[in-house]
Amino acid sequence: MPEQAQPSKRALRAELRERRRIMTTSEQASAAAGLLANLMRVVDQYAAGNVACYLSTGDEPPTREFLEWAHSQSIRVILPVAREDGLMDWAAYDRENEGLDAIGMPAPLGEVLPPIALADVDLIFVPAAAVAHDGMRLGWGRGYYDRALGSLNRAAPIYAVVYDHEVMDDVPRENHDQLVHAVVTPERIISLDPDFV
């Protein structure tokens, strides 16, 4: 797609955020059930015992039921803890002890692990605004995940978690933006990198 034909990142994010905001309660409930089932399938596919995920907020595709399921299965899950310097530390999921990190996002309040902890997981689930069919992830603009993923050197499969309409032919991109290997949505699990996933 020619550069001038693409919407800006800001415009596309605003459109996607609004589309999430206007989902009905029944659409949200249906999406949550489908997403939980597909997240569980992905974990089972890799027999993953150590997973990185995130605490969903507001209109994001929900991950909290998945975190509860993982806890019940004795799967270790680490969650991001954003730092003011633009990097992310990690901490183990703790349903009893949650607060806010340096940028106001929900995060566990337990022992903080350094950024390199992400390299030790079997599977990574990341938030996104949208994902292109070539694996390009459009984030929400702060660059935390691009920095974290850029340092991994393909350590584990990376799945973006989005709604079905957020899988697109193309998204605006810049040199620092990072690819994902696959997408999980309420209705589908899509491999975008057949050499990896």
Mean pLDDT by 10 residues, the chain (197 residues): 61 94 94 98 97 94 97 97 94 91 92 95 96 94 89 86 96 89 97 80
- pLDDT score, position 4: 45
Query: Alpha helix (H) ranges present in the chain?
Result: 9-21, 25-46, 64-72, 144-150
- pLDDT score, position 81: 96
Residue range 178-187, pLDDT digits in tens: 999 999 999 9
- pLDDT score, position 197: 58
Structure tokens at 153: 């050197």
Count helices and strands (H / E) in the chain: 4, 13
- pLDDT score, position 1: 39
Say which CATH topology domain 10-191 has. Answer: Rossmann fold (3.40.50)
CB 14 within 8 A of CB 130: no
Q: Any idea where the domains of the chain sit in the sequence?
A: 10-191
Say whether 109 sits in a helix, a strand or coil.
Answer: coil
Structure tokens at 43: 């974990």
Structure tokens at 194: 């057949």
Residue range 41-64, pLDDT digits in tens: 999 999 999 999 999 988 899 999
DSSP 141: S
